[in-house]
A = this chain, B = another copy of it.
Amino acid sequence: MKRRAKTDSLAALGENGLLRLLTSGWKTDSRVLTGVGDDCAVLSGEGKNHFLLFKTDIVVEGIHFTSKARPTEIGRKALARALSDLAAMGAVPLAAVITLGIPANESVSRLSAIYRGMEALAKKYKVNLVGGETTRAAQLFLNVALLGECRGYQPVLRSGARAGDFIFVTGRLGSTQKRHHLVFEPRLAEGQWLARQKLASSLMDLSDGLGADLPRLANASKVSFYLEPKAIPRARGATLKAALNDGEDYELLFTTPASHVKTLKKKWPFATPLHCIGVIRPHGEHSTGPIFAHGFDHFQQR
């Protein structure tokens, strides 16, 4: 893609447009299997079936959490979001490095609690916290750079969906629990299982809502989709609109070839709910489903 005119405004570009613009000149060598555009970058490891996954993710006070959030849950969320991106490719976490931005008058006790929350989740998912730095900043932020791997199997990309594949989501969408975005569990085990069993043709996590994220998966795979509104699993009290539009579900969205659907349903070993919500259609067909009834057409342009 060519660099666009410099006069574009940030608002007109949107986050995805800006990222496309800023990264349009990036070149990578043969060690890089997947660069910008998937949940994580994928680097070749040692031997045919070893891959390194690389990701950076930030939470900023006033944007990703409020000043009233429990400090331990701020630290938890910062790491959980990055872990969800590893889950979204089926990878196993290895190590993380942290950058902490500290505003004037921040209390040491709050920072300690933030780090304790992060440590507890790191322990749970066996993430090595291996380094970091701090800087003065105008607002509190916590950046997590995360390294993961797939050893003996391939990571699942966003771009592998094919016409006829069925579309699945884990869990229930549009949680009305105000703290869901702080305390969700990254679907690491589920993502790793799908990748190891070769049961997903494409995979991503839902961070901006199904209505925004499914079109991204379809674009990456160069396919269209049909979404069945009645099949979308909603969290207790959630409207269809909320299930489509509310971000930060952190559930997995994936596709499975028709020939594998029976095996998937039979073998799925998790308590996490699994729902088929639609089907992938050939490229060029109009995508259909409640996404469009609810006015989210513009997401396809992003």
A residues at B contact (CB < 8 Å): 3, 6-10, 13, 15, 18-19, 21-23, 25-29, 31-32, 35-36, 40-41, 43, 45-47, 50, 52, 54-58, 60, 62-64, 94-95, 97-102, 106, 108-109, 111-112, 115-116, 119, 122-123, 126, 128-139, 141, 143, 145, 147
Contact = CB atoms under 8 A, between A and B. Distances in A.
Contact of A133 (B21, B58, B119, B141): B58
A52 B54 CA distance: 13
Nearest to A115: B22
B147 A19 contact: no
Given A18-B134, A56-B98, A95-B54, A128 B31 contact: yes
B100 A32 contact: no
A98 to B, nearest CB: 7
A31 to B, nearest CB: 7
B147 A108 contact: no
Contacts of A95: 28, 31-32, 41, 43, 54
Contacts of A63: 135-137
Contacts of A64: 135
A115 B24 CA distance: 10
